[in-house]
Amino acid sequence: MLDAVTRFFQRALAAPERSQNPALTLELACAALLCEIMRADFDTSASEREALRTMLVSRLSVKAADVDELMALAEKTTDESVDHYRFVRLISRHYDQVQRFELVKLMWQMAWVDGTIDPQEEHRIRRLAGLLYVSHGDFIRAKLETEPR
């Protein structure tokens, strides 16, 4: 099964334009990056998993019936991934600046779920924002806009 999942993911990311549903591959790439933030502090809680589920359904328009499968696939691919290039490349190719900024805001929201920002989470978000060509100013603005008050 793992080989089938890997082949699906490689095909989808290699050629999203030819896949039957390119939005799903974008959702998977976004889910993988959000999953990376969720796991950055090496302490994944039930509240973080629920926040990821909510983000995928409400913000990325994943069907509720598909969200568990997407989350499992995202976690599996981040476990096996050496770097984030294929996720970032796909997102950068299909998302405009505003959409990439919104994705960075989602990353910050994921990091804030447990009430504090771990240095590993901030580092990971900073790195991904840079790879997504989100300016440092927008990186900071996203953090401030999502900070709990």
- Domains of the chain as residue ranges with CATH: 2-146 (1.10.3680.10)
81 — alpha (psi -120 to 50), left (phi > 0) or beta?
A: beta
Q: Which of 67, 36, 43 is nearest to 54 (CA)?
A: 67
Read off the tokens for 117: 């920002």
Residue by residue, pLDDT tens for the chain (149 residues) are 455 545 555 555 554 444 444 444 888 899 999 999 998 888 888 889 999 989 988 887 788 888 888 888 888 888 777 778 888 999 999 999 999 999 999 999 999 998 889 999 999 999 999 999 999 999 999 999 999 88
Per-residue model confidence (pLDDT) at position 120: 94
Q: Which of 97, 96, 74, 85 is nearest to 25 (CA)?
A: 74
* DSSP code for 135: -
Torsion angle (degrees, nearest 10) of CA 64, 68, 70, 75: 150
62: three-class secondary structure by DSSP: coil
Question: Is the Cβ–Cβ distance between 35 and 78 less than 8 Å?
Answer: yes
Q: How far apart are CA 48 and CA 122, in angstroms?
A: 16
Give pTM, 2 decimals. Answer: 0.79
| Helices and strands per DSSP (H, E), number in the chain | 8, 0
- Residue ranges with strand state E in the chain: none
Per-residue model confidence (pLDDT) at position 92: 93
